[in-house]
Structure 1
Amino acid sequence: MASWQWFHRLGSPRWFYEKTGAWLPWLNAVALILLVVGTSWALAFSPEDAKQGNSYRIIHIHVPAAFLALAGYYVMAISGAVGLIWRMKLAFMVMKSAAPIGAALTFVSLVTGAIWGKPTWGTWWVWDARITSMLILLFLYLGIMALQSALQIRETADKACAILALVGTVNIPIIYKSVDWWYTLHQPATLKLTSAPSIHASMLYPLLTMIVAFYVFYAAVLIAYTRYEILRREARTGWVRDLVASRTGEAR
């Protein structure tokens, strides 16, 4: 019973807003430190690759962005499912907030992949299975954002976007397994849970640092977006009016 009470309390927009206010400064600080350390480590101390030279260093942006593009889609889809099943307003707010962040990360992944592909493959773009499925992921994110904006009734928009997000999850395992299922120029995964990493420790550790940095950064941005969405949707509630009034009074 206690666990269900905690679950429903977490679904309260007011509870989430009040609790997460104290988290953001810490998340921002940790993300900034990790990004600075990871970037400096990758650019200044990590050795040059024997085959790819210095062009491989872009993986420190490309790989974390790709990881978060996939993981962020699951965050969005699961939030939509929670909203559909338990009718939690906060879940739909998280779903909506996750879409533009995921779209931005997917775009960064595609652009950095193209920059890496030019010196490695001799071309900016190929209709490779991995790249094409990532492009589909970008369209899914953009489609959810467009659908959210097109439908005027909020409840209808939330449900429609949640259904689209859930349907789109079929693309995630396709992205992950594309290099194994089809002939592809894209190299196999460098990091796997089932086997040792195929990258030297001197390159692995800064990459892992950047991955953790991106995850912390993602959490901070998602919380910030969700807090904004809470204020926007709950603008007519008493607690938001009191909050705005208190801040206006402080500003004076």
Structure 2
Amino acid sequence: MAWQWFHRLGSPRWFYEKTSRWLVWFAPLTIALLLIGLIWGLAFAPIDAKQGNSYRIIFIHMPAAVLSLVGYYIMAIAGGVGLIWRMKLPFMVMQAAAPIGAALTILTLATGSLWGYPTWGTFWEWDARNIFMLVLLFLYLGIVVLGKVYPVRDAADKACAILALVGTVNVPIIYKSVDWWYSLHQPASIKFTGASSIHPSMLYPLLLCIVAYYCFYTLSLILYTRREVLVREARTQWVGELVGAPNNGDKSGGERHA
């Protein structure tokens, strides 16, 4: 049963049909969590004693940073599954995750710069974490570009998967950079093995924002993957029936070339 379930997860058609039902309730839930978390943090959380209101950008910056790192692992794992088990859907998830991760990384760098100016007096410093976050952005963009330049889809997927797996070494470096090198960034404010350094009145809305960003990431990944499914499976009978277009009789195959 577990093996059958695993292979069902690799079916683009099964994924598309199942997620159609999920989106009905998951999209409104995500929007509600984002609105509540951001309004709570940006409007009602107390003013910080040292940074004043400028710290409020943490409610946008930190969740984006967390998801840019977690999203890279999701992308790399999807690529690894596609390489090992030769499934089509994991490769689609990998390609869908790349632009989302790139956007979150850009948001992280942009909000970090806006937060850094009143804190450090500059928009950018060649700080260890900044440098490796920039590397993360280049990795994401590299996978986006690499997925489009190869004329053969299978070759593009394999090349992107290998690059994604190699790039995973950058993620723990980003996480530990504030401990390994002198850094303008402060150590982690939220800790699972000890007391957090952030006050509960700020911690709770921040945690809610992180949960909301996780939901937003999941929603975006589902939508982008559904788009990727339709593009790659455009020549199949089930997609033809879905969009009401005539098909060429290909009942099982998908797009073989970019």
Q: TM-score range by the shorter chain?
A: over 0.9
1:182-197 → structure 2 map (5 Å cutoff): 182-197=181-196
Name the residue aligned to 1:18.
Answer: 17
Name the residue aligned to 1:100.
Answer: 99
The Cα of 1:193 is off from its aligned counterpart by 2.0
The Cα of 1:144 is off from its aligned counterpart by 0.6
The residue identity in structure 2 corresponding to 1:203 is M
Calculate the TM-score normalised by the size of structure 1.
0.96
Name the residue aligned to 2:249.
Answer: none
User: Contact 1:82/1:88 (CA < 8 Å) preserved in 2?
Assistant: yes
Looking at structure 2, the residues matched to 175 and 25 of structure 1 have their Cα atoms a distance apart, in angstroms, of 36
Looking at structure 2, the residues matched to 97 and 45 of structure 1 have their Cα atoms a distance apart, in angstroms, of 35
The Cα of 1:41 is off from its aligned counterpart by 0.8
- Indicate the SS of the match to 2:62: helix
The Cα of 1:195 is off from its aligned counterpart by 1.8
Q: Point out the structure with the larger helix share.
A: 1
Name the residue aligned to 1:50.
Answer: 49
The residue identity in structure 2 corresponding to 1:17 is Y
User: Contact 1:27/1:217 (CA < 8 Å) preserved in 2?
Assistant: no
The Cα of 1:139 is off from its aligned counterpart by 0.3
Name the residue aligned to 1:250.
Answer: none
Does residue 253 of structure 2 align to residue 234 of structure 1? no
Does residue 195 of structure 2 align to residue 199 of structure 1? no
1:160-179 → structure 2 map (5 Å cutoff): 160-179=159-178
Q: CA RMSD in A?
A: 0.8
Looking at structure 2, the residues matched to 195 and 35 of structure 1 have their Cα atoms a distance apart, in angstroms, of 27
Unaligned 5+ segments in structure 2 are: 246-258
User: Contact 1:190/1:199 (CA < 8 Å) preserved in 2?
Assistant: yes
- Indicate the SS of the match to 2:244: helix
Does residue 214 of structure 2 align to residue 215 of structure 1? yes
Deviations 1:25-61 (A, max 9, x none): 3221111111111111112211000001000000000
Deviations 1:135-183 (A, max 9, x none): 0000000011111111110000000000000000000000000000000
Deviations 1:70-100 (A, max 9, x none): 0000000000000000001000000000000
The residue identity in structure 2 corresponding to 1:23 is W
Name the residue aligned to 2:87.
Answer: 88
The Cα of 1:192 is off from its aligned counterpart by 2.0
User: Contact 2:42/2:59 (CA < 8 Å) preserved in 1?
Assistant: no
- Between stretches 62-71 and 185-194, larger displacement belongs to 185-194
Structure number with the bigger relative contact order (C-alpha 8 A, sep ≥ 6) is: 1
Q: Structure 1 runs of 4+ off > 4 angstroms?
A: none
Name the residue aligned to 1:37.
Answer: 36
- Indicate the SS of the match to 1:72: helix
Looking at structure 2, the residues matched to 139 and 131 of structure 1 have their Cα atoms a distance apart, in angstroms, of 13
User: Contact 1:148/1:161 (CA < 8 Å) preserved in 2?
Assistant: yes
Looking at structure 1, the residues matched to 43 and 58 of structure 2 have their Cα atoms a distance apart, in angstroms, of 15
The residue identity in structure 1 corresponding to 2:168 is T
Looking at structure 2, the residues matched to 176 and 233 of structure 1 have their Cα atoms a distance apart, in angstroms, of 35
| Count of residues in correspondence between the two structures | 245
Calculate the TM-score normalised by the size of structure 2.
0.94
Name the residue aligned to 1:7.
Answer: 6
The residue identity in structure 1 corresponding to 2:69 is L
Looking at structure 1, the residues matched to 75 and 244 of structure 2 have their Cα atoms a distance apart, in angstroms, of 32
Looking at structure 2, the residues matched to 45 and 226 of structure 1 have their Cα atoms a distance apart, in angstroms, of 36
Looking at structure 1, the residues matched to 131 and 207 of structure 2 have their Cα atoms a distance apart, in angstroms, of 26
Looking at structure 2, the residues matched to 164 and 43 of structure 1 have their Cα atoms a distance apart, in angstroms, of 38
The residue identity in structure 2 corresponding to 1:131 is N
The residue identity in structure 2 corresponding to 1:218 is Y
Unaligned 5+ segments in structure 1 are: 247-252
